[in-house]
Structure 1
């Protein structure tokens, strides 16, 4: 039982209200008689200092407050009042405002977390770099797959022409029959029939040693050759297509050298014929060479040449370039026999067929 508080728990029996009779340990702090003090105002219900005894009790002021207790009260009301009485008085509470957090302390204590976060500008630059490299790689791959050069159209056509030797049928380069309208002496017509096609090979033994040395800077990628005869089967002519490894600049240099130095007219720079066994050209060897022509192209890595002779195997001691044998008034044996016309006529038409072939190969679809 909690100790009674003088002046507060003592109450005449005749003045008990129904509530106090039902709950004897509870006392409502409200006036029940004329001698009781009036109820406190709302702000004084929980005073900051212990209450003093009222005049009805007659007890001194020091006896109005019970001593501190360490155990809780059974009724709970008195203990709760004591704890409220003991609460320290806080005159003015500080006003708290929310501000932006100071990230400098976070950066000083956890620098590794901030370092792991990439900067937006650096991330955007890296993404642009990867995208740019992907676009460049895709464009280069597309050009390679389509066979196009990264330069202008002329360079693309030049490269395509240099690769035609392994994908073009032999009849496109060397037709079985070649029509030579107006290609004979005095503008006479000629017709040439193909009698043999040499297997595609390298340039070894295809040229005289000195001519091979002159052509060496251009390189030898592949050599294609075929031998024709005229309608009378008295003349034989070998036509060759030398596909080089040179680029357009190197072919231009070679072309200028042949023209400026007259290398296409020297008798020590002759191409060799292809003498096919079992044909009328079986006896067509180096000693039977009578006239020739050599043309270095600048729009394709190709050297076109032709060499002609007699089908009966007769020896020619003074071969003559086709350009000289075609001149009016030429009296040499090759000129009189029309062998210059044979070499020049066939070379011109094979070269024209070659140009048509790589023109159609480089033509873009509309």
Structure 2
């Protein structure tokens, strides 16, 4: 087998260097800049530069204190102060100096709106003032308790708004008490006559309760207007000899204690109970000795304003034979010693006051019974 001969190497053709056969530009034209060959497309996307997420700070000039103006910077020879602007034009053929980086100042972020509620300042407590207030409270409670205890011990019920008094009971007493209690059939007056003689009066007529206008004189009704007239109750009596007749009445008002006290003072100081033009009217009764007892037969009268109840009690007397009286006289004057008038000689002043006192006493007794506390 012949020996293997090595194969002679085939000479390779040298590759021409880049630009060896490239056309040369004519003289005087600068060569084209070298452009690197494009990289082969490998299918991979080129890396993407990360996006800037931070906020760039805007240049803010550093604030200066308001109280001290800024001093001009003094720079050594040949140097400019930092932050100053050189207004000298550059020399011909030289480039202007590149401006330095802008100065940045850090600005704190805006303070968020305050969402909490501010607490109001609490005043400093003063022990002395607090102790004084407590002492006043204790003293007030002691006074109230003492007053209540005193009222309970003395039986005073004025502090109780629901307590029964002469005013609260009398307002309804006129239609709840029997007529024989208000106007008894017989009245006895021991020592009520002239010279202290005893008297006995008999009831001969009773009028149903009625309004004030028909029973009272217009001027008297006007005088009682401040207390408000509600109802009038009337009855007529005669003495044992049937020689005199007397009409007695009770005027119920709607006033309180203060108003009745004012009215009583007015009657006393102004003498209204002695004026003939304020004399009460009579109650005649047909078929009796008082059949002819009218306004012209009035001889003496009595008029009393009570202060413990809203009532005015009156009485007017005259002759039973129906004679006319031209000079009527108040009961207090007709009872006076030495009085010589016709009403005084007939004892008509005693008749009016005696009957009025008995009717007033019976009314007080009825009110007292109605207001007594049950045991």
SS of 1:250 mapped into structure 2: helix
| 2:206 corresponds to 1:197 | yes
Q: 1:315 aligns with which of 324, 327, 336?
A: 324
Cα distance in 1, alignment partners of residues 162 and 339 from structure 2: 43
CA contact (8 A) 1:162 1:302 kept: no
Task: Report the counterpart of residue 358 of structure 1 in structure 2.
Answer: 367
Q: 1:278 aligns with which of 278, 283, 287?
A: 287
CA contact (8 A) 2:164 2:371 kept: no
User: 1:155 Cα deviation (Å)?
Assistant: 7.0
Q: 1:174 aligns with which of 178, 183, 207?
A: 183
Cα distance in 2, alignment partners of residues 235 and 153 from structure 1: 45
User: 1:149 Cα deviation (Å)?
Assistant: 7.8
Cα distance in 1, alignment partners of residues 161 and 198 from structure 2: 41
Cα distance in 2, alignment partners of residues 154 and 350 from structure 1: 26
Task: Report the counterpart of residue 301 of structure 1 in structure 2.
Answer: 310
SS of 1:304 mapped into structure 2: strand
SS of 1:351 mapped into structure 2: helix
SS of 1:198 mapped into structure 2: strand
SS of 2:259 mapped into structure 1: helix
Let me know the Cα RMSD of the aligned residues: 1.6
User: 1:157 Cα deviation (Å)?
Assistant: 2.7
Task: Report matched runs for 1:1-366 at 5 Å.
Answer: 151=160, 156-366=165-375
User: 1:277 Cα deviation (Å)?
Assistant: 1.2
Cα distance in 2, alignment partners of residues 343 and 154 from structure 1: 35
SS of 2:360 mapped into structure 1: helix
SS of 1:318 mapped into structure 2: coil
What is the CA deviation profile of residues 224-252 of structure 1, one whole-angstrom value per residue up to 9, with x for unaligned ones? 00000000001000000111111111111
CA contact (8 A) 1:177 1:194 kept: yes
User: 1:154 Cα deviation (Å)?
Assistant: 8.3
Q: 1:209 to 1:285 in 2, by over 3 A?
A: same
> Larger radius of gyration, structure 1 or 2?
2
Comparing both structures, which one devotes a greater share of its residues to helix?
Answer: 1
Cα distance in 1, alignment partners of residues 338 and 176 from structure 2: 44
SS of 2:174 mapped into structure 1: helix
Q: 1:153 to 1:295 in 2, by over 3 A?
A: farther
Cα distance in 1, alignment partners of residues 317 and 162 from structure 2: 37
